[in-house]
Amino acid sequence: MKEKKSEAPRRGNEELFKWDGNPTFGQILPLAAQHVLAAVVGCVTPAILVANAANNAGGNVNMGLLIQMSLVFAALSTFLQLYGNKIHLGSGLPVIIGVSFAYVPTMTAIAAQAQDVNTIFGAMIIGGIVAIIVGLTIKQIRKVFPPLVIGTVIFAIGLSLYKTAINYMAGNSANTYEVIVEQRGQTAALVYGSWQNWLVSLVTLAIVIGLNHYGKGLFKLASILIGLVCGYVLALCFGMVDFSALSNAGWFQLPQPFAFGVKFDISAIIPLAILFLVNSIQAMGDFSATTSGGMDRLPTDQELNGGIIGYGISNIVSACFGCPPTATYSQNVGIVGSTKVVARKVFSLSAFILLIAGLIPKFSALLRTIPQCVLGGAVASVFAGIAMTGIKLLVSEGMSTRNTTVAGLSIAIGMGVSLSNGCLNQMTSTIYDGLGMTMGLENFQSIINNTFASSPVVLATIFAVILNLVLPKDPKPEAK
């Protein structure tokens, strides 16, 4: 009898390691929660950053609804990847989809310029079409985006996010709020760069770093969430949390099509289309890491094609409802590699939890109460990780003279132009006069600056592709 009892759990656990396994609810719940904890902060933070960028510039974007749509369509996009392979619109692999930080620098620049997010969603529709084309022609396009180019682009994305992290840690310069705090009988105003902002953000960051390096199990996987909660409690002690949005929020709300509107603007379409192209190629890496880490094999061509086409279609649909661009989540890929759990039911439950959270406005309103210094401290390590991912890819390709020229020069031009305000104005003025355009010089300059100078990612991508194609290849080592 003892032998049978010891064998039963083993047989049950084996179901977790099968794609079509049938584990019990008790087995999948903690594992699903683990994936949700790893994904939820990443799902909502880009929405908060983008809404803040638009509203700080004078807009009136409904942040709560943007957060809700981020959660709802992260869940629906995950379902498409899990089950859409039957109609060639998904990978059929154990992945979690969420709103991607890779688009944040470009999206915040677009939102601040337009004081709205409708141009982002218009560009997403075009970007989704680009992703579908990549999925259909993956073998041909992949040659133009080797790891050297992708690593350069990811590194540029990480670098461009550092300014956002530090700005939020200091309290956000565009949001110089004042909260009165009783302090030894006196009052102190919590303004941008105050010691209270820095203390809360640094404590949050320290907790995230500590759990990342010393925590185990769920404590390590949920390090960002735990850091947010601890920072939030500390911010409460300083009176930095405003609950007015929570009291006014409802309990249930379905997605509303075109709630934010859709507007097609060439200055938003070009940079986001390039990012969709790059992230479509990058998705191949996540799909490959998932199968090699959890299934001990590489993905099939059908899985890659279906996954990237599904990625494009889900983003087109998401744009119509107001969800920022989504992508595969590398942190969840890492969980698959470490646990080897690939049962589809685990990922289905994770997506279901995200979906329910997205349908509850009270939940998104609660997330809106997070002070920006807490948010900055929590995501600083995420942004650093993005940059380091790019560096790892570059190092894996070798630091030859050619490779350092491609990466270094592309980063230098991308970052340099984005940091030098107005450096393209005179050139665009000359082009404008030469072409005899009638749209207005300021409008033409705005399009050029928004496309190429608002974020370093676009120029870094263009130069990395060109340099990689034109510079002579490194000689292959001779076989011994």
- Domain spans of the chain? 17-399
pTM over 0.85: no
Length of the chain: 480
Cα–Cα distance for residue pair 393/149, rounded to 1 Å: 9
Can you give the pLDDT of all 480 residues of the chain as single tens digits? Answer: 444 443 334 445 778 788 888 888 888 887 787 778 767 777 888 888 899 889 888 888 888 889 889 999 999 999 999 998 888 888 889 888 988 877 888 888 888 888 889 999 999 999 999 999 988 887 777 778 788 888 888 888 788 778 878 887 888 665 544 444 444 433 444 677 778 889 989 999 999 889 888 887 667 766 777 888 899 899 888 888 777 767 776 787 788 888 898 999 888 888 889 889 878 877 876 787 777 777 777 678 888 889 999 999 999 999 999 999 998 876 677 667 666 788 899 899 989 988 988 898 887 777 777 788 888 888 788 778 778 878 888 888 888 999 999 999 999 998 888 888 778 888 888 877 777 666 667 767 777 777 777 778 778 888 998 999 999 887 776 655
